[in-house]
Amino acid sequence: MKRISELMSLKGRVAVITGGAGHIGSAMAEALAELSANIVILDISLESCLSVCESISKGYAVETLPLAVNLGQEEHIRTVPADVVSKFGRLDILVNCAAFVGTSNLPGWVAPFEEQSADTWRQALDVNLTAPFTLTQACTPALRNSGNGSVINVASIYGLVGPDMHLYKGTEMGNPAAYAASKGGLLQLTRWLATVLAPDVRVNAISPGGVSRGQPEVFQRRYIERTPLKRMAIEEDFKGAVAYLASDLSSYVTGQNIIVDGGWATW
> Which residues does the annotation mark as catalytic?
179
- Residue 29 amino acid letter: A
User: Is 128 in contact with 186 (CB distance < 8 Å)?
Assistant: yes
User: Is 109 in contact with 176 (CB distance < 8 Å)?
Assistant: yes
Q: DSSP label at 252?
A: T
Q: Name the nearest CA neighbour of 12 among 147, 138, 140, 152.
A: 147
Q: Terminal CA-to-CA distance of the chain, rounded, Å?
A: 39
CA angle 11, 96, 46 (to 5 degrees): 85
